[in-house]
Amino acid sequence: MDLETAGLEYTPEIARRTAPVYERVRDVIPAVEWPVHAPYVAAIQDWKTKRNAVILAHNYQTPEIFHGVADLSGDSLALAQQAVEADAEVIILCGVHFMAETAKILNPDKTVLIPDPEAGCSLASSITGADVRALRERYPGVPVVTYVNTTADVKAETDVCCTSANAVAVVESLGTDRVIFLPDRYLGHYVARHTDVEMILWHGSCEVHERFSAREIRDHRQRYPGLRVIAHPECPGEVLDEADFVGSTSGMIRWVGDEKPPRVMMVTECSMSDNVAVEHPEVDFLRPCNLCPHMKRITLPKILRSLQTLEHHVEVPGDVAVRARRAVQRMLDVGRTEGAGGSRPAMPPMPAVPVPSAGPSGAEGGPGP
């Protein structure tokens, strides 16, 4: 019998059990779709108990996952923090592979599963551990700060990791004049605008956020006077210059809760607006968003299958995990440093940091004089 589909009908009993969930998400999930999701939502709840499992979901997961089956949710930093605190034998990470690896690095004795091991990330695949070693040779003595959107191999070569919720503070925590910052050049430029520390950058980028343009935002502002715009720091600098607020995905969620704007455009992955709209029906969300194809690999049927078969295990070799854990732990020690209520003000208007073309090893060189 196919484990995935056995007994997964939309019966009156399933409708009754899942009604409270549907009540929450009815504005973002059409009624005609609920009979497809509901049997999975109910089965996943049952299997979670059977397996003593906890489901951690990133803010970019679809609403039926985010609001339907997740026990804990948040940005990359929150997921790492919650992975440490998770009181369960099994962690199911609904997000991309580097997030599951981070959970495993922090929980070597727990079973960490990802519903689809192919859920990658263009930033994580832009750099290898060997690249980091080559950069260290090229810039002897300069510490390496690595965005958490990287593989365990890269983290293991790193002095300290950071996320979008604490990148400036992590860079400054090292107390040096210069750092190698990897691999997101846009986040690197954003940090460079908020610190005097010289940044040596890599040429990585997020395939989702790099597609937004300043023109798109200006067009929307013209069409919708009074529109507020908030953006993730993986966007190009010209986009961030147009934003009222720049922050991590959780920082953006908190900003909406604090400001309650009548109309807002979240310049980030598509599911964010759906997930936040559930909490704020009074806010009108414009959705000129981009989909992350990697995040969208995670689906309810794959989560159920993970629980049933205990696949796919995320493993990190012992020596790599030990070195990577040091870098991740230093990041957790810095913690979240987005301003009060998770808010970091939008960057002040400043001249763009030039983006020199990548050198032979891929490094961009510092931000210049």
Residue 208 touches ligand SF4, criterion: CB under 6 A: yes
Residues 252-311 that bind ligand SF4 (CB under 6 A): 269, 292, 294-295
Amino acid at 279: E
Please state the closest distance from residue 268 (CB atom) to ligand SF4, in A: 8
Count of residues for the chain? 369
Please state the closest distance from residue 10 (CB atom) to ligand 13P, in A: 33
In terms of C-beta density within 10 A (0-12 exposed, 13-18 middle, 19 or more buried), how is residue 223 classed? Answer: exposed
> Which one of 62, 82, 248, 275 is in contact with ligand 13P (CB under 6 A)?
248
Residues 70, 76, 79, 84: what is their CA dihedral angle, to the nearest 10 degrees? Answer: 170
Can you list the alpha helix ranges (DSSP code H) found in 72-213?
A: 76-85, 97-106, 129-138, 152-156, 167-173, 185-192
Report what 163 binds from ligand SF4, ligand 13P, none; CB cut-off 5-8 Å by kind. ligand 13P
Residue 149 touches ligand 13P, criterion: CB under 6 A: yes
Residues 175-214 that bind ligand 13P (CB under 6 A): 206
Closest of 328, 297, 337 to residue 152, by C-alpha = 328
Please state the closest distance from residue 286 (CB atom) to ligand SF4, in A: 19
Report what 76 binds from ligand SF4, ligand 13P, none; CB cut-off 5-8 Å by kind. ligand 13P
Rounded CA-CA distance 85/102 in Å is: 13
> Which one of 164, 166, 271, 299 is in contact with ligand 13P (CB under 6 A)?
164
Q: 318: how many CB neighbours lie within 10 A of its CB?
A: 9
Based on CB atoms, which residue is closest to ligand 13P, 18 or 205?
205
Given the rule CB under 6 A, which of 102-110, 130-138, 203-211, 321-329 is the region that contacts ligand SF4?
203-211
Residue 123 touches ligand SF4, criterion: CB under 6 A: yes
Backbone angles phi, psi at 119, to 5 degrees: -75, 95
C-alpha to C-alpha distances, 358 to 172, 203, 362, nearest whole angstrom: 25, 6, 5
Residues 144-173 that bind ligand SF4 (CB under 6 A): 149
Please state the closest distance from residue 58 (CB atom) to ligand SF4, in A: 8
In terms of C-beta density within 10 A (0-12 exposed, 13-18 middle, 19 or more buried), how is residue 176 classed? Answer: middle
Residue 82 touches ligand 13P, criterion: CB under 6 A: no
The footprint of ligand 13P (CB under 6 A) covers 59, 75-76, 149, 163-164, 206, 232, 234, 248-249
The footprint of ligand SF4 (CB under 6 A) covers 96, 121-123, 149, 206-208, 234, 269, 292, 294-295
